[in-house]
Copies of this chain bind each other. A is one copy, B any other.
Amino acid sequence: MSATTKTRAEVVAQIFTVFRDRGFEGATLSELSQSTGLGKSSLYHYFPNGKEDMVFAIFTLLGQWMKDNVLEPLHGVGTPKQKLRAMLHAFDELYDGGRNACVLGALVSGGGRMRFQTELKASFEAWIIALRDLAIEAGVPRREAQQRAEDAVVRFEGALILSGGLGDSGPFKRASRQIERDLLAV
């Protein structure tokens, strides 16, 4: 790739932020065009079916991010506690310490809930499974691990909503600490 040519990955990374901040209906082609620096027609070159295709691309990007930042480290070296810390650090960067919303939450809350039901379910489940397996590795019984993983996702999502609503990153930071404390506790 050269300096003047955008890769698809770069384009997807840019539209990702728009859908995250505006939701599906709120993300207009004008803003998507502006944020990517591409004309509307060029966007249709990348995404023939428009916004719907863009969101599918975002789900793919999320899957890749999860693989790189959660699943791979999970199978790497270190204690479960170390791996959890690394994961939490990655989430902290993704959400910018609570200043960014969660694109999954934005799509659930907006009109995309029915449109992307299958993908949303798969994304949440993959997330939960990753956290669950880490808890299992730390010696937590499977059933309990599943519950704790769901709790962690609930806390992330809820804390991002509350941090957004209050304009205060405190709830997110505290949720992150609670997850670190609770997920693997014996």
For the complex formed by this chain, how many copies does it contain in all?
2
Chain B residues with CB under 8 Å of A154's CB are 154-155, 158-159, 161-162, 171, 175
**A: contact size bracket:** 35 or more
Report the minimum CB–CB distance from A108 to chain B (whole Å): 5
A157-B157, A158-B158 as given contacts; A150 in contact with B121, CB under 8 Å? no
* Residues A124-171 near B (CB distance < 8 A): 124-125, 147, 150-151, 153-159, 161-162, 164-167, 171
Is the CB–CB distance between B158 and A161 below 8 Å? yes
- A159 to chain B: closest residue by CB: B154
Q: How far is the CB of A147 from chain B (nearest CB, A)?
A: 8
A175 to chain B: which residues have CB within 8 Å? 154
Residues in B neighbouring A104, C-beta threshold 8 A: 161, 165
Bound state CA distance, A121 and B168, in angstroms? Answer: 10
Q: Which residue of B is nearest A123, CB measured?
A: B165
Write out the residue numbers on chain B whose beta carbons fall within 8 Å of the beta carbon of A153: 158, 162
- Tell me, in angstroms, the Cα distance from A123 to B161 when the chains sit together: 13
Complex contacts, A171 vs chain B, CB 8 Å: 150, 154
Q: Which of B109, B157, B165 contacts A110 (CB 8 A)?
A: B109
Residue in B109, B121, B158 whose beta carbon sits within 8 Å of that of A106 in the complex: B109
Measured CB to CB, the closest approach of chain B to A77, in angstroms, equals: 31
Q: Which of B22, B121, B147, B159 contacts A25 (CB 8 A)?
A: B22
The 8 closest A-B pairs by CB, nearest first: A158-B158, A109-B109, A154-B158, A26-B111, A25-B26, A25-B25, A157-B158, A157-B161
